[in-house]
Structure 1
Amino acid sequence: MKNIKIYYILFLFSLTMGCKKDFLDVVPDNVATIDNSFTSRNEAEKYLFTCYSYLPQESDINSNPAFLAGDEFWTYWPIVSGNPLPSTPQQIARGNQNVSSPYLNFWDGTNGGKPLWKAIRDCNIFLDNVGKVPDLDPSLKDRWTAEVKFLKAYYHFYLLRMYGPIPIVDKNLPISASPEEVRVLREPVDKVVDYIVSLLDSASAKLPLIIQNRSSELGRITKPAALSIKARVLVTAASPLFNGNTDFGQLKNHDGTALFNSNNDPAKWERASKACKEAIESCEAAGIALYQFNGLLNLSPRLKQEMTIRNSIAEKWSNELIWGFSNGGGSFIQGWAIPRLDPSKLQNDAIKGELAPTIGMAELFYTDKGVPINEDKTWDFANRNNLRTATSADQDYLQNGYTTVGLHFNREPRFYADMAFDGSIWFMQNGTWKIQAKLGQNQSRKGANGYSTTGYFTKKLVNWNFVILPDYGFTQEIYAWPMIRLADVYLMYAEALNEQSGPSPEAYNYINLVRSRAGLPTVQESWTNYSTNPGKFLTKDGFRDIVQQERSIEFAFEGHNFWDLRRWKKAPAALNSAVYGWDIEQANASTYYRRKLLFNQKFVAPRDNFWPISEGNLIINRNLVQNIGW
């Protein structure tokens, strides 16, 4: 009977492997090497790095849905054979996600997703065996254990954010597990959150405050990173998608266990605010601060401000980083973001400029008075699409004498630091380049691919040392991708404080710290003096809108807005809308600056808030229930 039982379990998972589903293997595929992996410190360290290797590469436009599966960027379609631009995330943006073979499937590790259940399994193997390593110093064992606990928590969180309630895999199943034990169930959201937080609390107690060996350990997990991710987890859990969401009241296991708590719990925001404050204190103790650019003293004040904003992201190791992804972060994405700047190198096909922000993103940023463009009583919102010619007064950010649209005038510093467009300038260490993108001009479409379909380019993601080579290729300074940076924790704290008890001096302080670095007045000054709704910041609902727009601007093009829209339950409104760009095939300003409909997005609520679990998994494990709408 024992042999029959083992055979049945292995047969069950042979079906799983046959369907490319390997997320809860009873017998690890590397079982023969596990004992060897913990015979020495060096071998155990290799296994530690294996646990790190599953981290989703957030700077990869192929696999991070937050880039091309949302609404911040748009690309041409269809993606023809031989074009390196990925088509998988755009399938999601275009409403083509499916249950038979989901795109960017992180549950199974298929269609561009990493196998995060396998990652969790390997983390468990490490935690079960690291105590066997004979030559491992106890303090180092504690640190490595803490790092892997963090990774295990992060992988659970990534799946929770993507799929909603998930199984908790605290221990790997033994070979003696029964068939029914193998068929795990999804756990209620609150239970999953508590489990993730418990792992992060345990990890943070043993993690270093700072990285001492910067030559080889940058990117490893620290205490500020663990506490900051804990803050992100709890802010997510307190947000409307997960806190009192009646849309998912009918999502239950087959035994009737509810997977969402339909009752809003205000205490979750109090818990989140405490976690944010704890993270901020840890960051301050570690010397982490909002980035300020200190180089090239002969720059104009406006360009210094722009370099502060750009390099808070693209500096090789910015002092604002709490946790940077060092394995490929900020690498290929630079070539996707930058157009062919140098007129003498327009035939360089390695430069794409295809990561194209939409007109909607251009309209998101504030005016130079620090309020939304439709609220600023000094700004001509109604005529924003009318032509206007730049003068010498505008020459720090627009080309003197060049005709563009009113939308591009008198905007906040982050607008000019983050985006480039026809008539703008692009400062780099090797020169200042003019962007001219109408038909026949230097940055216009030159062929079937390798162009911006909207007329905008993503300046924010390009390090200022990027150099386009004469014939093909480029040289670049690769920077660590900001998995989380201090401005994020500041704005999460302001959000949590407001949701807990309404606007307060402390909430204003932390949002104003971010605004000050961006060259803007305080919220109080901007709204009182320039907004058509001067008392907006005084109410909980009004300040909520302000904080949310501040987040969307500060983290534009970094992959935050995709998840924020969902957790705020604003995705249905934002993603059921038209995507516009300029009419880039035109040579004259009067015809180029016509809003061109690129696509009508469709977001089916509540279904599209979460990924589907593939049908194959539901067949193999009858205890799993599908997300609502799929």
Structure 2
Amino acid sequence: MNFYKYLYQRGNWIFSFGLFSLMLMGCDKNLLDAVPTDRLSENIFWKSQADAELAANALYNDLDGAEIFYSDALTDIAHVNQPFAVDAYIELGTYDASSSRLYNTWSSAYKGIGAANYFLANVGKIEGSRDEALIARFIGEARVLRAYQYIKLAYLFGGVPLVKAPLTLEEGRAVQRADLKEIYDFIDTELELAAASLPESYSSNDIGRITRWAALGLKARSDLYAGRFAAAAKAAKTIIDSKRFELYPLYANLFTYAAENNKEVLLDKQFLENIYTQSVFNLLAPYSQQNGQSTYVPTKALTDSYETSSGLVITDANSGYDPKNPSKNRDPRLALSIFLDGDPLPNGAIFRPAPNSGTADAVGSTYIASTTGFNIKKYIDKKDLANPSKSGLNIMLLRYAEILLTYAEAKIELGEIDGSVYDAINQIRNSRTDVKLPIISNQVNQEQLRQLVRRERTVELAFEGLHLADIRRWKTAEKVVPGKVYGITYQNNNGEAVVVEAASESRVFDAKKHYLWPIPQREINLNPNLKQNPNW
């Protein structure tokens, strides 16, 4: 039984709405003069340990779910399929501080922060008999969930308001941006404190809650983003040395119902089919599959990143790459992550995206069909075909593969290249049953390893919401993002090999300002103390 199924069966599902009402009511104490009939009141809440549990449970709603997918489409590896979508303007560099994507990302993150702050400010009010270790665990969960939001805000916006406690409206209109270092210092401290009070694992109804390892894994991620490589390597190594995690043996099944709660998962957002659902199938599937929306689609830039089965990049003359048959003899993760021409689809049909194929998925057949001829395969489980907008498939937010790659990258940047670095990379490349690439030897130098681990992060973690942060911290976005978007290679009616070019303007990335998003204009209008990022 997963965590969310337990919540629903306990009748606690509606509590998240009650908590949000409490947070709003906390802004104006006059609202408490009458006891409401449609929400929870502070007059009757925060009385028992059960109340603390309910409040802690509600915090999980603010974890990202399907929201992780849009960010990859703002990089070189994916594309916003419909040109009129709000994210398309970010691709084209024509967005500004009024973008709803920026505002929604900012406001949802601070909603999660606000909920955690409210919990931490009130959990001490619990009266009567209480299990102090359990209360400490709830506090640890809240700290981790709050730090998760700050990690996201930091890489997107830079220094942001560091809010550690509930604010009045007046206080909220006066906050200022903290220095980015202060944000990362806070994240580090919070995750270290949380890890000390969290269990190493859960069983039964509590599977899906934050563990000590999730806290340390997020710390490794945050430290890597901050360039604190020694700290990142240390946190990742602690997880590796625990021997509690391993790569799931079949990459093909990793993002399906069959692999839920497996030993590779450190943190996920759990869902419950037809009750607490996500709509990834509807969002990403090819158009022919129950009107899949193809909202974000892979690019040729990504598919070209996958090595050949010989372990060489496709530009190497000895790689065996065939430009007329680009998917032949390639890293198996290419075909396991992306729908390619000839692949079986969930409904039993064959994926035929070529413009001259005459199918619903043909490039140009409709504005919804993929404009690159590629579709994302991760999380497209045929079990969701009948009801694509009500999937119960869990979405992974942190998995062991990332920990291994974080460790390897941090050690490479430190110049501390030893057998453990090669082992971490080679586990990714060669330990799964269905992914067998040549192992990397100790003859590879630091710069070659740097490029290798970056390529491994790109292909291993594609469509998992991490690549935007990567190309920002690597400072490669200005090189890889700008230009046309290309897709499949197909044979036209004259037998010529043609590369699809997505019907869009060229992407733009201005290094002078696009490495940070602007602070949403609505926030600056409310609080002029929030100084805008450079050149916006």
Structure 1 Cα separation of the partners of residues 210 and 494 of structure 2: 50
How many residues align? The count is: 493
How far apart are 1:546 and its partner, in Å?
0.8
Question: For 1:51, which of 39, 52, 59 is the aligned residue?
Answer: 59
How far apart are 1:626 and its partner, in Å?
1.2
Question: For 2:518, which of 581, 589, 612 is the aligned residue?
Answer: 612
User: Could you tell which deviates more after superposition, 611-620 or 159-168?
Assistant: 611-620
User: Could you tell which deviates more after superposition, 602-611 or 351-360?
Assistant: 351-360
What is the SS of the residue equivalent to 1:406?
Answer: coil
Question: For 1:459, which of 370, 374, 377 is the aligned residue?
Answer: 377
C-alpha RMSD of the superposition: 3.0
1:546-597 C-alpha deviation (Å, 9 max, x unpaired) = 110111010112221111111111111111232112488x863736733425
Structure 1 Cα separation of the partners of residues 192 and 482 of structure 2: 39
What is the SS of the residue equivalent to 2:514?
Answer: helix
Question: For 1:567, which of 469, 473, 476 is the aligned residue?
Answer: 473
The aligned residue for residue 421 of structure 1 is 340
* Maintained 8 Å contact 2:80/2:87: no
What is the SS of the residue equivalent to 1:317?
Answer: coil
What is the SS of the residue equivalent to 1:466?
Answer: helix
Question: In terms of Rg, which structure is larger?
Answer: 1
Question: For 1:92, which of 90, 93, 107 is the aligned residue?
Answer: 90
Which structure 2 segments of 5+ residues have no match? Answer: 1-22, 33-40
Higher relative contact order (CA 8 A, sep 6+): 2
The aligned residue for residue 119 of structure 2 is 126
The aligned residue for residue 67 of structure 2 is 60
1:418-453 C-alpha deviation (Å, 9 max, x unpaired) = 12222x33376x86x533233314642585343111
The aligned residue for residue 184 of structure 2 is 193
* Maintained 8 Å contact 1:337/1:352: yes
The aligned residue for residue 441 of structure 2 is 524
What is the SS of the residue equivalent to 1:280?
Answer: helix
Letter in 2 for 1:466: K
Within a 5 Å distance, the mapping from 1:142-541 to structure 2 comes to 142-173=136-167, 183-213=174-204, 216-238=205-227, 268-282=228-242, 284=243, 287-292=244-249, 308-314=250-256, 315-327=259-271, 331-339=278-286, 349-375=290-316, 377-380=318-321, 384=323, 405-422=324-341, 424-426=342-344, 434-438=350-354, 439=356, 440-441=358-359, 443-444=361-362, 448-463=366-381, 465-466=382-383, 468-469=385-386, 473=387, 478-516=392-430, 517=432, 518-524=435-441, 537-538=444-445, 540-541=446-447
* Maintained 8 Å contact 2:86/2:99: no
Letter in 1 for 2:229: W
Change over 3 Å in CA distance of 1:330–1:71 after alignment to 2: farther
Counting aligned pairs with the same residue, the percent is 26
The aligned residue for residue 104 of structure 1 is 101
Structure 1 Cα separation of the partners of residues 142 and 477 of structure 2: 33
What is the SS of the residue equivalent to 2:260?
Answer: coil
1:444-491 C-alpha deviation (Å, 9 max, x unpaired) = 25853431111112223323x43645xxx5598732111000000000
User: Could you tell which deviates more after superposition, 357-366 or 371-380?
Assistant: 371-380
Which structure 1 segments of 5+ residues have no match? Answer: 1-23, 80-86, 239-267, 293-307, 341-345, 385-404, 526-534
Structure 1 Cα separation of the partners of residues 283 and 521 of structure 2: 34
Letter in 1 for 2:89: Q
Letter in 1 for 2:318: K
How far apart are 1:612 and its partner, in Å?
0.6
Structure 1 Cα separation of the partners of residues 282 and 412 of structure 2: 39
User: Could you tell which deviates more after superposition, 569-578 or 368-377?
Assistant: 368-377
The aligned residue for residue 6 of structure 2 is none
What is the SS of the residue equivalent to 1:221?
Answer: coil
How far apart are 1:166 and its partner, in Å?
1.7
How far apart are 1:270 and its partner, in Å?
1.6
1:310-361 C-alpha deviation (Å, 9 max, x unpaired) = 2223333332111011147994222333336xxxxx5x64334454211111
